[in-house]
Amino acid sequence: MPFNTALSGIRAANTDLKVTGNNIANASTTGFKNSRAEFGDVYASSLLGSGSNTPGSGVNLQKIRQQFSQGNLNFTENQLDLAINGAGMFILDNAGDKLYGRDGTFGLDKDGYIVNNTGSNLQGFVADDAGNVGGILEDLQVEVDNQPPNVTTELDISFNLDARKAVPLVTPFDPDDPASYNNATSATVYDSLGNPHTLSQYFVKRYDDLNPAPTPAEANEWDVYVQIDGEDVAITNGVPTVPANPSARNVTFDSVGALVAGDVFDIAWTPTNGAAPMNINVDLASSTQYGSGFSVETLSQDGYTTGRLAGIDIDEQGLIFARFTNGEAQVIGQVALANFNNLEALKPVGSTLWGQTADSGELIVGAPGSASFGDIQAGALEESNVDLSEQLVNLIIAQRNFQANSKTIETANQTTQTIINLR
């Protein structure tokens, strides 16, 4: 009977309308991937067979195929809005259930965990205190507490001392008398309580108490005096100056101005504010003595005071940097991406999320920008990949097919009525 054939066509057209309507409804849904209905013809089979003379029995739905093509990027002002430019899906944990999606609308919950709009946790690789990223999937969390202070233990400084300088006329060295030294510089260091202190270095062209004029052997030698907050420190290794001073260190350059001795030394100092004793390794490597003015080329130290969270930055590789009010930035983790051999076999679970199935293949996890995974674009969201013009055309086609199959039923009914009315 043609009724069943036409009915299968109506069902197919109705399914096509549902799929197309769902695509249109989600044209503005972040991270949405459109689908299309795929149909196949139906033929009745018989052991006797009738060759090519077998009439068709209608149509059936074979598959609703998802299209995982890239959507356009819409840039926002929220650094926790993330978009994937290329292959990969975000990994989310929903009370132990792993879900995957392209919607990067994220924020922080009350405990600092990065979550989506339904409360699922974004997963990635967590970094240790030194900023080293591991390889185990965990929920990503941004510590909202104050960052504790870090005591200074390393001070790296490189400078140029003017080779044209003469021995100071005033001796011995007196930090309160600029005539007793050639040059000076300072750096801020921090104790165990996060309090800042000023570490000063004074540079004096080499002399001794018997012969203020440098000998040829002393022409490329300088004395470095170190104080913290105006107090002498103890240099715990190295050669003291003449006259002996526990806060001074002799440095030596060669005939082409390169530092050859005294480039590394340790200093010890105990604050009077209740903080722990400080031990700082001073590295003067790459310092020079050329015939040009005194200048500090590089200066860095590893201490800092306490700080509050000021913001979050995420780079193309998904590395999450927490910025603090003390000027420090700390790597706290890396966003992980997932992929499957057969994305089309993933099961939609709603909220633009998918679940793994037996047909999707094994989960492949990696870092953004590695292997076949795309990059992360922070401050952007991936728009739906629905092409409205195409969907509206599909809507017209589905409507036409529905009407045509209805006409088949109407015609079959008229034929049947004609047969019934025969006398």
Q: Where are the domains of the chain?
A: 2-69+384-420, 76-142+321-374, 154-301
| pLDDT on residue 130 | 83
Residues forming a β-bridge with 231: 228
* Burial of residue 48 (number of CB atoms within 10 Å: 0-12, 13-18, 19+): exposed
3-state secondary structure of 54: coil
| 274/268 Cα distance (integer angstroms) | 15
| 33/41 Cα distance (integer angstroms) | 27
| 371/365 Cα distance (integer angstroms) | 10
| 380/376 Cα distance (integer angstroms) | 9
Are 262 and 252 contacting, i.e. CB atoms less than 8 angstroms apart?
yes
| pLDDT on residue 55 | 79
Instruction: Report how many helices (DSSP H) and strands (DSSP E) the chain contains, helices first.
Output: 2, 31
> What is the full per-residue pLDDT of the chain (423 aa) written as tens digits?
678 888 999 999 999 999 999 999 999 999 999 999 999 988 876 555 555 667 788 999 999 999 999 999 999 989 999 999 999 999 999 999 999 999 999 999 999 999 999 999 999 999 998 889 999 999 999 977 788 899 999 999 999 999 999 999 898 899 999 999 999 999 999 999 999 999 999 999 976 555 556 666 577 999 999 999 999 999 887 655 555 677 888 899 999 999 999 899 999 999 999 999 999 999 999 999 999 999 999 999 999 999 998 889 999 999 999 999 998 888 999 999 999 999 999 999 999 999 999 999 999 999 999 988 999 999 999 999 999 999 999 999 999 999 999 988 888 888 888 878 876
Are 384 and 31 contacting, i.e. CB atoms less than 8 angstroms apart?
yes
Question: What is the third-level CATH fold of 154-301?
Answer: Tick-borne Encephalitis virus Glycoprotein; domain 1 (2.60.98)
How many CB atoms are located within 10 Å of the residue 51 CB?
5
| pLDDT on residue 216 | 63
Among residues 85, 19, 46, 32, which one has the least CA distance to residue 368? 85
| pLDDT on residue 49 | 55
Tokens representing 356 are: 């793994």
Q: What is the pTM of this model?
A: 0.76
| pLDDT on residue 169 | 86
Residues forming a β-bridge with 380: 75
Provide the sign of the torsion angle of the four alpha carbons 300, 233, 304, 327, taken in this order.
Answer: negative
